[in-house]
Structure 1
Amino acid sequence: MRLFTAALPPPAVADHLAAALDGITGVDYWAPRAAWHITIGYYGEEDPGPRVEWVKERLPGLTPARISLGDSGNFRDTLLMTVSTSDSALAGMAAVLKWNDKHPEFVPHLTIGKGKPLNLAYQGPEWTVDEIVLLGAEERHDYTEVARFPLQAR
């Protein structure tokens, strides 16, 4: 199972984004809404048990992050929404939960699909990432929640 830690947008945030994307045409593929997430750390194929313990060991000192989704962007043909942060807590989470140097630079984003770049000006509602979710995937966009890790406010 491919494992990764993620922040999941709350339903009201996902509703807001879905409304902004409604009616956009010319996209090759839309990621299912149930798959929307912001990856914090990617771990590859492994057994979930040891990774759960690994994440738990790194939780002390991590604090909730205030974030919002911003304008559309892309990595080649991957369509995404940018992430704005009002503090450094999300980058701190990514630094602590980074497993290897496969992806050396953390670029927070939410993947929405595949296709030609969109030019969507967007500002989503701000929310607090107050938990980290360990997700597993056997197939693309077919995610299983393995564990949830609440974050303590300072």
Structure 2
Amino acid sequence: MPVLFSALLPPDDVREAIAGALGEPDGLRWEPPERWHITLAYYGPDDVETRAAWLGERLAGRPAVDVRLEKAATFPGVLWLTVAGPELTPLAHAAGAGAEPRPYRAHLTLARFPREEPGLAGRWTRRLANFTSRWWPATEVALMTSERAPGGPRYRVARAFALDRG
């Protein structure tokens, strides 16, 4: 069974803005732009059809949300961009984020580093302290599969669920 999660995918111009702010990244294990996403909920190993039916019911009639990416921060071993958008957390909870043991925190993972070396990310949090992308309307939620592959996981959109544009 594939590992599944739901996510918002940033538009191409937002990905380009992030890449431009990073310049030539070094010193960390960087996520490639094609894997950048904002996780709404993680489901683990699950049947795609069953989860898609469940998620479709949960998202039916939900409005599109406006989001933007902002300054960098860290979790132990992870450098990420914060995500702004007042309706994002309710959307994530509708997608199942409330079932996870830790509180939902919207973010976009940029890179990983050894937990025992938190200083490695310091220059990047400083460099990205004033980063702000444009606001964009997230008009669909993607049900994603994650498969192990050489060089890191391979993500694929299994289903896409349109949000109401109002």
Give the corresponding residue for 1:145.
Answer: 157
Relative to structure 1, the CA distance from residue 103 to residue 141 in structure 2 (aligned partners, 3 Å threshold; closer, same or farther) is farther
Q: Which runs of 4+ in 1 moved over 4 A?
A: none
Deviates more, 1:65-74 or 1:111-120: 111-120
Structure 2 CA distance, aligned partners of 1:78 and 1:54?
Answer: 30
Paired residues for 1:30-45 under 5 Å? 30-45=30-45
The CA RMSD over aligned residues, in Å, is 1.5
CA contact (8 A) 1:35 1:143 kept: yes
Does structure 1 retain, via aligned residues, the 8 Å contact 2:4–2:143? yes
Q: Distance in 2 between matches of 1:151 and 1:46?
A: 23
Q: How many pairs were matched up?
A: 151
Listed one character per residue, the Cα deviations across residues 6-57 of structure 1 (whole Å, up to 9, x for unaligned) are 0000000000000001134322x00011100000011000111100100111
Whether 1:136 and 2:148 are equivalent positions in the alignment is: no
- 1:30 and 1:113 in contact (8 A); partners too: yes
TM-score, scaled relative to structure 2? 0.85
Separation in 2, partners of 1:96, 1:138:
25
Give, in angstroms, the shift of residue 132 of structure 1: 0.2
2:112 aligns with 114
1:101 partnered with 2:99: yes
If the length of structure 1 is used for normalisation, what is the TM-score? 0.91
1:153–1:136 distance in 2 versus 1, CA, 3 Å: same
* Identity in percent: 30
2:99 counterpart SS class: coil
Greater strand fraction, Structure 1 or Structure 2? 1
Name the aligned partner's letter for residue 130 of structure 1: T
Q: 1:141 to 1:32 in 2, by over 3 A?
A: farther
Please tell me whether the aligned partners of residues 97 and 104 of structure 2 are also in contact (alpha carbons under 8 angstroms). no
1:85-105, Cα deviation, whole Å (9 max, x unpaired): 1x3x21111111116633431
Contact residue 98 and residue 104 of structure 2 kept, 8 A: no
State how far apart, in whole Å, the 1-side matches of 2:54 and 2:17 are.
34
- 5+ long unaligned stretches in structure 2: 114-119
How big is the shift at 1:2? 0.6
- What amino acid maps onto 2:89 in structure 1? A
Q: Mean Cα displacement is larger for which, 4-13 or 133-142?
A: 133-142
| Greater per-residue helix proportion | 2
Which one is further off, 43-52 or 17-26? Answer: 17-26
Question: 1:126 & 1:91 partners in 2: Cα distance?
Answer: 16
Q: SS at the partner of 1:14?
A: helix
